[in-house]
Each structure stands twice: as structure tokens, then as C-alpha cells.
Structure 1
Amino acid sequence: MEISKTMEVVMASSKLDAGISCFDIETGAEQLRLKSCASPPHGLISLSERFFVSSQVRESSSSSSGSILHWSRDKPVADVKSFPAEPISPLVSNSDGTYIIGGGCSGNIYLWEVASGRLLKKWNAHYRGVTCLVLSDDESLLISGAEDGCVRVWIFDDIGRTAATHLYEHNFSEHTLKVTDIVTGHGGCNAIIISSSEDPFEYVEFFLILLYALVWRNISQVWSLSKGKLLRTIDFPSAINAVALDPCEHIFYAGGKDGKMYVVSLTGENTSASKYGMHIVGALSDNSNTAVTCLAFSKSGVLLVSGWEDGRIRIWDTKSKQIVRMLQHSKGQVSNVIVVHRPLNSASQTSMATQSSASKRNASLLPPLDKYVTSTDDNDDFKTVTASQPPLSRVTDALYCSSDVMKSQIKELQQEGSTAASQLELDRLRVECKRSLQMSEQWKKMHGDLHQFCADELVDYGRNGCAK
């Protein structure tokens, strides 16, 4: 059986029309440059690692129109251009690429279904433009940040939303200016959330769904999320543009306007201190004195990719704390860096034109995203289906169909043809089928363990009875 080989690729974009650059994270070689792209911060995403989607910077601050571009993998020119009702800045998608969520300059949040392009839902989330969007690791919660300084946690899955009395679960209004970045850790509703802002006190705040911490310059307070109380204070020497959470969640990195990436401990004692301040255990810097604009970890969690104001991308080894590669994206500041997997196939790379034309013949394009909700009532209920695995207590027949049913659906889709939309649905069904089989194996193991336990108890009882 042939094993598909992949490589990790760093994708970077800027607010200038410099396109999207794709670099091999191991060698630094540029693999591809996607043309005609000027994306705002948090406006570049990978859609199931088969497509790339980017919102576009609006022509002027007074412009009421915007666009979203779609690229197929390995194709330098955008396939589809969508025109939403307003300029969109941040984008996020769920893991299997079923949905795209976008934040508008008016404070609205939009939810699109990828396969059909339908706008399923639009709601007013903030008083000013949305700047950040992120999903929790189980994709049950959506966290948004905005120019109004608010960070809100929205219920994204159907089970949680049905039980809720209102759409958002939590509202944090301690920031006073624009939220610049949000990241979340593992644990679903118990995850760590970290956000940064342009507040004049230069603070970053991080949350636990059970514990909430605000990091505010020169002010020491403690909060609890469930009770709205502050937990921890960290004083940064510089304003923070971007944050990245270590996969082990022991530390996080905060990229500052002073050109340093501060290393902050999440597990250290409150009395720990360094020359940078309480809880800050160190800093990474190349003495360039140019602002850090965005951060992303490699899939291995060892390499930290940083975008900078000077248009360069610096890749750090977090173990040695050294720069291992420096890449040039453009002359303007880098607004986004993401790390994705890309198939390693030298033949396809050397025959890109042939592959491009073949893909046009064999697969249709993703449909453009709708401008308006098709329903006459924006508040009509909608159904989201996520492929994330819920806890055992929430396993239902609706979430886990039998593997035979899923295999039948996969076969039907393959017979219908490999269009872009059906391929995404095919990928989703394969993920659900795999997880259903894993769940079946877990139940078999539990049954076997229980059977063995009962057998051992009977044998022990028999021996004890005979001994008496």
C-alpha cells in the first residue's frame, strides 16, 4: 500500500498585493506563490488542506464592498471570487472544511456552508468590526474579538445552543481597544484562551473556561471566569500584536511591537520573576527592532513561525531558541502565517500546468459564497454538523451512523463524480467513518475487559468455594 508523503508548508500573506507565498518549512524553498492577494490579519485559512481562502483588504476605510478569494491547491490563480455583503476581515473554518465563518467590519459574523456556498446565518456579534475568530478544539465554541475591545464566546454546536438561553456563552469587556489576536488550547469548554489587544496599558489577557485571567500592565488582579473574577496579571514591556500557545500549554509566546517574542509561563509560581516581569521567563529576539506581526506553530510543535513588519518570516527552534531559517515574503509587513501539509510529489510539481488543466476537466470549482441569507428570516434556526468527537456521554445515533451506511454513502459519491464540493463531503464522511470504527473498537475492548473481569470473578468465587 502506497503511503502518501507530505511536507509542512508555511503560507504567508500581507496587506499589500504581494500574493500568498508557500515555503517548505524544512528547506526554506519557495514552492508556489498564489497571485493577487492582499489579506488583512487573520484573513488567510486552509480549507481542509485542499483549498486556500483569503479575505481581501478593502480599497479604503469608507468602502462598503469586499471580496473573498478561493484557490485550489497548487494553482497560482484564484478559482473563485465571492462578494459578501460587507468587507470581511477574519476567517475561520472547521477541521473538515464544511463551514467558513467570517467577521465583518460592521460587527456581524457570517456562517457559510462550503459545499453549496449558502449563507446559513448572519448575526450582530459586536458593536464594531470583528478582528479575530477562532474555534475551540472540539469545535463546539466560537471565540470572537473585535475593535470594540470585547471578547465573546459563542455556542457553535447544536446541542449546546439548544440548551442555552442566549447565543453567546461569555462576554469579556475588560479590553478597551481593538483585540489583535486570540488563540485557544485543548479541552473544549475547559480550554485556555489567550487574547491580546491594543490597549494603552499594553496588556494580554488569557482565560480558562473555569478560570479567567486578565493581564494588565501595572495592575494586579485575579478573576474567575464563572464568577467574572480576574485570575492573573502579567506586565509586558511592549504592546502585543500576536500570541501563540505551546502545544503542551506550559508556556505561550507573545509577539511585541518592540521586536521581541516574550515567553510566558502558565505553570510557574506567581512569585517567579525575570528582568522582563512577572511570569515572563525569557524572550526571543534577533535585535532587528522591527515589530512581530503574527505567529504560528509547526505541526510538530517545535518550530515557531513568526511574521514581521519588515516583510520577513523568521522560523525559530523553540528548544535551542535560535533562528533556523529566514524567508522573504514581501516588502510590506506580513499579516498572516499559517502552517499546512502539502503532498510531496515531485512529478506533480514539475508539471503544474498539466495538473492545472487536468483538474479543470475532472473537478468543478467550489461555488461562490452567497451574499445574503436565503431565508426571509435571519433568525431562522440552522443545523451545524461537526466532525469532532464528543465525550462518551454525548454519543448518539445521530452523531455516529453505522460504518456500513457511511461506506455506502462514500461509494455513491464516488460514482457521482469527483467534484470539488462532493470531494469535501467525501472527506467528511471518511473522517466520520474512521471515528465510528474507532468508537466501535473502544466498545469492543470495554466489552472484552468486562467479560474478562466477570470470568475472573467467577473463577475466584469457585476457588474460594472449593477451599471452604
Structure 2
Amino acid sequence: MAAPMEVALVSDAAGPLCNCSVWELHSGSALPGYRGGNSGPRGLALLGGEHLLGAQIGKSYINVWELQRKDQLQQKIICPGPVTCLTASPNGLYILAGVAESIYLWEVSNGNLLAILNRHYQDLTCLCFTDDSSHFLSGAKDCLALVWNLYSVLQAEPSQIPDPRHVWSRHSLPITDLCCGFGGPLARAATASLDQTAKLWEISSGELLLSVLFDVGIMAVTLDLCEYHMFCGGMDGSIFQVDLCAWPVQRDRTFQTEQENGKVFKGHRNQVTCLSVSTDGSLLLSGSHDETVRLWDIQSKQCLKTMNHKG
């Protein structure tokens, strides 16, 4: 039996040929992509291992492809407004979309709209589920990150407005990205903001575990699978590697680039928009407004491959 293939799904704002390109991660070879429209930042989502969702830039619909039928756009999900962020639950049962300041929750099996959550005061910027699909997180331009218990949202009466489990209000400028580690309701979550900080939280208690101050706004954040490191993408194109196992433990830290030897990836010429770590923890994938996607060796900080795009 052949070993599983790890691939990168890459979208850009103006690609004339493909909505989503597909690259074999370790070899860098291009595979057939998904055609039809263009997806925005935070606008791609895998659904149940069988479908790919893409929120069309500036339009009120979501494109849907079958993963094995890349040449044909299967259908469109009509939304009440342009979708600013999109995610699907790991169990494949639910879809979340941010439309203006509202979160829309759909059930996949029948297409029913289950809830509209209006607890943010400005446009949504990012959404993500925990790995067990029990909770989801939302971030917005109102500087708030909210943690929601999915069961509580589903059980709420139609006349009730569900309350988030936690309201994280320690950022002073808009939230740009967030991600969840492993562990379901016991997981840790990271948030990034234009206030030049990235913060690490505990979902179960809502406690702030770590706040790292940088000298630039942070546009993207991710964790490796072992959660030894947090990777933060800056507005200047730099990518910072934060050691989460540093001793002594400090809740508030300042990342001083000149003193953090071997902890900065340099190569992008414009702001970093997205980050992802390979399953074996050896490679980092980054996208940027400089219209490139770069593949990095984490140990050496060397750029192994640069993939050019149109947006």
C-alpha cells in the first residue's frame, strides 16, 4: 500500500485558471486543481474528507467541489451576504460562515440553518472548530475572540440568544487569525491580532496562558501538532517561531528579533496571510500578499520552494 500523500491546498485572489491549486507537499509537484471563481483569505474548508468549500470573494455564495472531481464545480451554497470566513466541523456535520458581524451555522445532512449568532459588534475575520467538534471559536474586528459550546448553541430555544462560553477581550485591535490545538474542550487555542501580540489560551477555563509582544502586527498564527512551538506571521513578511516550552515560564513575553537566534523565517516581501505545519512537524507552509507560497524547513529556517501565484 502506498504511503499517504500530504498535499497543500492553495487559493489566491485573482488566479485566472484555478480557484484552488493543489501541491504535493514534500516534492512540490503540482496536481490538478479546482476550477471556478476565487476564494478569499480564511475562505477554504474541507468537509468530511469528501468535499472542498470555497467562499467566493465579494459574493454571497460558497462554491462546493467533490474532492475527487476537480474539473467540475458541483454546486453553490447561497448565503445572506459576502462570506468573510468559513470552516467546517471535523466530524463533517456542520458548516460555519461569517457574514458581516453574524455567525451562520448550517447542518450538512439537510442544509438547515440551525442558528444565527450575533454577539460580535464588527465583521467576522476567522472561525475554527476544536478537533472533536464540541466547541468553535470566532474572531472579529471588534477585538474579541469568543468560545462557543456547540451543544449549547444547538439546544438553545429559538427565542433565546445563546451565550458564548468565554469572551476573550485582551486584544486591543482586530483579531486577524486563530487556531486550536488538540484535546477537544481541554485544548489550547492561539489568537493573533493587529495589536502586535499573539496569545495562547486554555479553552476549558478560558485562562490566558501566554501573551507574546512583537514589533509588527500579527496576521496569521498556527501551532505544530505537538504544540511545542507557535508560529506567527507578521505584517512585514517575517515569520516568528515562539518556543512554548521555554523555562522559566513567563506569561508576558517580548519577542526580540535580534536576540532570538534561529527563530525567524525571512523571505516574504509583504504581509503573511496564512500558516500551516506539516504533520511530521518538519515543514512550514506560508502564504503572503507578495503573491507567493513558501515551503520552509523548520529546523534550518531555509526556504525549500517558492510557488508563485496571481494574488
Aligned with 2:132: secondary structure? coil
The structural deviation recorded for 1:84 is 0.9
**Which residue does 2:177 correspond to in 1?**
181
Change in 2 beyond 3 A, CA 1:154/1:32: same
**8 A Cα contact 1:20 1:37, kept in partner:** no
> Which whole-Å deviations, capped at 9, do the CAs of 1:292-312 have from their partners, x for residues lacking one?
211012222221111122211
The structural deviation recorded for 1:167 is 2.9
Change in 2 beyond 3 A, CA 1:263/1:82: same
Structure 2 counterpart of 1:203, which letter?
T
**Which residue does 2:46 correspond to in 1?**
46
Give the TM-score taking structure 2 as reference length: 0.87
**Which residue does 1:95 correspond to in 2?**
90
**Structure 2 residue 104 is matched with structure 1 residue 104:** no
**8 A Cα contact 1:111 1:121, kept in partner:** yes
Unaligned runs of 5+ in 1: 59-64, 213-224, 333-468
**8 A Cα contact 2:199 2:209, kept in partner:** no
**Which residue does 1:331 correspond to in 2?**
310
Aligned with 2:57: secondary structure? coil
Structure 1 counterpart of 2:145, which letter?
V
**Structure 2 residue 147 is matched with structure 1 residue 153:** yes
**Structure 2 residue 70 is matched with structure 1 residue 75:** yes
The structural deviation recorded for 1:280 is 8.8
The structural deviation recorded for 1:121 is 1.9
Aligned with 1:234: secondary structure? strand
**Which residue does 1:84 correspond to in 2?**
79
Taking the aligned partners of 2:254 and 2:89, their CA distance within structure 1 comes to 39
Percentage of matched positions with identical amino acids: 31
**Which residue does 1:15 correspond to in 2?**
13
**8 A Cα contact 1:274 1:280, kept in partner:** no
Taking the aligned partners of 2:193 and 2:258, their CA distance within structure 1 comes to 18
Aligned with 2:212: secondary structure? coil
Higher helix share: 1
The structural deviation recorded for 1:196 is 0.8
**8 A Cα contact 2:152 2:162, kept in partner:** no
**Out of 198, 214, 231, which is 1:204 matched to?**
198
**Out of 220, 237, 254, which is 2:215 matched to?**
237
Larger Rg belongs to: 1
Taking the aligned partners of 1:281 and 1:248, their CA distance within structure 2 comes to 20
Listed as ranges, the matches of 1:308-319 within 5 Å are 308-319=288-299
**Structure 2 residue 281 is matched with structure 1 residue 283:** no
Give the TM-score taking structure 1 as reference length: 0.59
Higher strand share: 2
Change in 2 beyond 3 A, CA 1:102/1:277: farther
Taking the aligned partners of 2:295 and 2:220, their CA distance within structure 1 comes to 15
Taking the aligned partners of 1:27 and 1:114, their CA distance within structure 2 comes to 34
**8 A Cα contact 1:13 1:37, kept in partner:** no
**Which residue does 2:30 correspond to in 1?**
30
Taking the aligned partners of 1:4 and 1:85, their CA distance within structure 2 comes to 44
Change in 2 beyond 3 A, CA 1:109/1:181: same
The structural deviation recorded for 1:76 is 2.4
Aligned with 2:263: secondary structure? strand
Taking the aligned partners of 2:24 and 2:87, their CA distance within structure 1 comes to 23
Taking the aligned partners of 2:165 and 2:254, their CA distance within structure 1 comes to 34
Taking the aligned partners of 2:155 and 2:191, their CA distance within structure 1 comes to 24
**8 A Cα contact 1:273 1:280, kept in partner:** no
Listed as ranges, the matches of 1:269-308 within 5 Å are 269-270=248-249, 275-276=256-257, 282-286=263-267, 288-308=268-288
> Which whole-Å deviations, capped at 9, do the CAs of 1:210-256 have from their partners, x for residues lacking one?
676xxxxxxxxxxxx2xxxx554422122111011011111111011
Q: Which has the higher contact order (CA 8 A, sep 6+)?
A: 1
The structural deviation recorded for 1:36 is 2.6
Aligned with 2:170: secondary structure? coil
Q: How many residues align?
A: 301
